[in-house]
Amino acid sequence: MSYSIAVRALCEFTAKVGDLDLRFTPSPTALEGIVGHRTVASRRSDGYQSEVALEGLYRTLKVRGRADGYDPTQNCLEEVKTYRGDLSRQPANHRQLHWAQAKVYGWLMCRKLDLAQINVALVYFDIASERETCLVETFSAETLKGFFEHHCQLFLRWAEQEMAHRQARNDAAQRLAFPHAGFRPGQRHLAESVFKAVSTGRCLMAQAPTGIGKTVGTLFPMLKALAPQQLDKVLFLTAKTPGRKLALDAAQVILDSATAPPLRVLEMIARDKACEHPDKACHGESCPLAQGFYDRLPAARQAASKRRLLDQAALREVALEHEVCPYYLSQEMARWADVVVADYNYYFDFSALLFGLAQANQWKVAVLVDEAHNLVERGRQMYSASLDQSTLDGVRKTAPQPLKKSLQRVNREWNALHNLQLAPYQAYDKPPEKLLQALFSCGASIGDYLNDHPQGLDSGLQNFYFDLLQFCRVAELFDEQYLFDISKRDLDRKRPLSQLCLRNVVPAGFIGPRLTAARSTVLFSATLSPRHYYADLLGTPANSVWIDVESPFHADQLQVRIVSQISTRFVHRQSSLAPIVALIARQFSERPGNYLAFFSSFDYLQQVAQLLAETHPHIHLWSQSRGMAEGQRQAFLDQFSAEGQGIGFAVLGGAFGEGIDLPGARLIGAFIATLGLAQLNPVNEQLKHRMAAIFGAGYDYTYLFPGVQKVVQAAGRVIRTQQDRGVVMLIDDRFGENKVRQLLPRWWSVGDALGAMPTV
């Protein structure tokens, strides 16, 4: 059995030394890098060979890669690196890594062509000036062979450990038994469908009700598929922190089972949550955990590899024991973990770490996307960009003198749009060319300034620069799947300020390729209906399978009642307050316990809560507030004790509308006083028009389908186990419409609320 590794990955493992240094310097984009490599190749002689595939063996280690170029007439192997700025400021450990890669490729070329010696060149290409700096050395094949074998030997002990780990993992995974006494109703169907999807290399969309055990039901079959499908990793992607915790809990259940394989399960979190020194910069002169990071990394990596569950706490413990940064240790361990639990953005974002590693290392991965209905909106956010004029105003005042001219040009072109815009909001078919030119030119100016002033920018200008880079990147991708719009604010000012937005409408063009890049992707949620809506917006492959898993619950467990006598439309808001309060009070009187009451906005929520408190002061109530921190959200949930009685008020689609678990007496009912429709505003109306043009169902795609999905998710908080009993009141006459009823879960038995509406 051999272990295969790319040249770059080998050298990053064995040749990286010294400090972690993340001081920001503008680096070429991937596209600029490709263009730079092509420019260098175009300047060479006719016989020049580009992208030369090479490989070599050392004992059980296979090293493979593509050399940037080889010139037979000069007998010269070239490793090309594109850059911006002053090459003399390049850190010594970067140059050392580049030489290591070049020399490994040099030996592989000597071996391929049976050469006694070879010229090895590091070619640094400045993408701004298009100048080349060539560093050339001549090496004997024997010297390069010794260098290659030395680095292979450094890696081989780890490789042998990894091969043994993988063999033991795969052998045990095939014997893995389901970690519970039996499957819940519907759970076996889900697990079998997941196993079939990964076995046939297809994408699966699984609508499975809350309470079925989706997390274990999807993770277990993926682990069973590790050996037969030769999977390198399983990626479990979540939209929110609670989903990540559920995935780690499920992994722990499997790890604690009698037949558990020796898995490494890794949790990845955001950098700001993992940082030990938020007041320091990420380089060795500032942060003690960055100083000598690569020198201490091997011992930390070895210690971390012995842990089965590398959650946030375990990673921090290992990192601090070895005095390395926990966040960047987690990035290293992503290369060696078997199961990675992380946010969507780690795989779907433009610069997603896990997707980039999978492509670079040719990993075969299986991807589980939890609560996949969230991927539509999250995808839109990832692939959109915005710029705020108030931020521009601020940085113009404090910017260094060399940047003031380009910032002023952006401001001038921005203001010129205001003169053409009559309404506070205006959407355009495409961004204005003059404004884009000004933005691209400004980005280049700031980049040039950074090259000459490596101490960096003040935080305000740097944040604006990051936003500007994202905006320019998205602008290059702009097509019919996007809107460009301008929203004016501060209209009472003499010169109103505005926000520019490149708004992604259909993320399918970006998400679809990520789905197909995996061996199999499973998108699962309690709400993936209608199928065509999610297929259209997420870009699922044509051969994708869609299943609707039967519910483990029965209709008699959940009373679903439509209260059609009340309208929650904005124009009827005031007249709805008293009847809603009366309905809540009557239900609470008939069956005291814990309830959630969902509303379309904080204002609506507060009005109902205030009236209930005034007219029924004996009913204990508590309310969600804007911008609750994690501790405040937990305090809200802690009010739902098994012995308690009261009503928690929340906003539909917010933190308490999905992903929370309040089984048994902790929650016995929900009042949902809204159809969940998105706010009627100019942005959503533009989305509706674009959806109508693309899919022919503007209202449904913009308002109805996302709205009812929120309602079903909220109602799903009530019944969590097969022993639960509860009630859901759907408060609005529109719930009675056939089009809406068809979107509700099949297992619900929906009836109208009986009796005349009480009055206060």
Pair 686, 538 in one domain: no
Domain shared by 647 and 748, yes or no? yes
* Mean pLDDT on 235-264: 94
Question: Which pLDDT value is given to residue 242?
Answer: 82
For β-strands 61-71 and 76-83, DSSP reports them as antiparallel
- In 3-state terms the chain splits into helix, strand, coil percentages (rounded to 5) of 45, 20, 35
Rounded-to-10 torsion of CA 416, 420, 423, 427: -80
Specify the pLDDT at position 425.
93
Same domain for 371 and 391?
Answer: no
**Reported confidence tier of residue 90, pLDDT bands at 50, 70, 90:** confident
Both 573 and 721 in one domain: the answer is yes
Residues 68-87: pLDDT tens digits? Answer: 999 999 999 999 999 887 88
Do residues 400 and 365 both lie within one domain?
A: no
Residue 321 in any domain: the answer is no
* The pair of three-digit structure tokens given for residue 372, joined into one six-digit string: 């996949």
In this structure, what CATH number is given to the domain that contains residue 17? 3.90.320.10
Q: What is the pLDDT of residues 657-694, one digit of tens each?
A: 988 889 999 999 999 999 999 999 999 999 999 999 99
Residues 201 and 239 occupy one common structural domain: yes
User: Which of helix, strand or coil describes residue 309?
Assistant: strand
432 and 477 fall within a common domain: yes
**Residues 608 and 627 occupy one common structural domain:** yes
What is the amino acid identity at position 659?
G
DSSP letter string over 43-80? TS-TT-EEEEEEEEEETTEEEEEEEEEEETTTTEEEEE
CATH of the domain at 599: 3.40.50.300
Domain extent at residue 453: 385-504
Q: Do 212 and 255 have their domain in common?
A: yes
Closest CA to 119 of 63, 67, 60, 181: 67
3-state secondary structure of 758: coil
- Does 301 reside within a domain? no
Q: Is residue 323 part of a domain?
A: no
Residue 759 pLDDT exceeds 60:
no
Residue 313 belongs to some domain of the structure: no
Neighbours of 687 (CB within 10 A): 22
- For 526-593, strand residue ranges (E) read 545-548, 558-563
The pTM of this model reads: 0.92
- 288 occurs within a structural domain: no
Asked whether residue 293 is domain-assigned, the answer is: no
DSSP 372: G
Instruction: Tell me: do 373 and 396 sit in the same domain.
Output: no
What mean pLDDT is predicted for residues 732-755? Answer: 87
Distance separating alpha carbons of residues 79 and 15, to the nearest angstrom: 16
pLDDT in tens, 300-340: 999 999 999 999 999 999 999 999 999 999 999 999 999 99
| Res 24 pLDDT > 70 | no
Give the separation between CA 32 and CA 473, rounded to whole angstroms: 12
**Exposed/middle/buried for residue 317 (C-beta within 10 Å: 0-12, 13-18, 19+):** middle
Classify each residue of 562-599 as buried b or exposed e, where b means 16 or more C-beta atoms within 10 Å of its C-beta: bbbebbbeeeebeebbbbbbbbbbebbeeeebbbbbbb
641 located within any domain = yes
Q: What is the dihedral of CA 413, 416, 421, 422, to 10 degrees?
A: 150
What integer pLDDT is reported at residue 586 of this predicted model? 97
Q: What are phi and psi of 157, to 5 degrees?
A: -60, -45
What own/partner pairs with CB < 8 Å and gap ≥ 24 does 161-167 have?
161/305, 162/3, 162/336, 163/1, 163/3, 163/60, 165/262, 165/264, 165/305, 167/1
Question: pLDDT (tens digit, 9 = 90+) per residue, 200-241?
Answer: 999 999 999 877 889 999 999 999 999 999 999 999 999 988
Nearest CA among 159, 73, 65 for reference residue 106: 65
Number of domains in the chain: 4
Residue 17 has pLDDT above 70, yes or no: yes
Percent of the chain at pLDDT above 70? Answer: 97
Nearest Cα residue to 434 out of 404, 414, 464:
414
The CA angle 621-626-628, to the nearest 5 degrees, is 85
- Do 147 and 244 sit in the same domain of this protein? no
> Rounded to the nearest 5°, which phi and psi values hold at 298?
-55, -45
Nearest-angstrom CA–CA distance, 656 and 637: 9
Site of tokens 């109902």:
608
- C-alpha–C-alpha distance, residues 77 and 79, integer Å: 7
Q: How confident is the model at residue 356 (pLDDT cuts 50, 70, 90)?
A: very high
Last residue within a domain, chosen from 522, 548, 574: 548
pLDDT tens per residue, range 357-413: 999 888 999 999 999 999 999 999 999 999 999 999 999 999 999 999 999 999 999
Q: Note whether 528 and 565 are same-domain residues.
A: no
Specify if 121 maps to a domain. Answer: yes
Q: Which residues contact 339 (CB under 8 A, 6 or more apart)?
A: 219, 223, 233, 234, 235, 236, 251, 263, 264, 265, 266
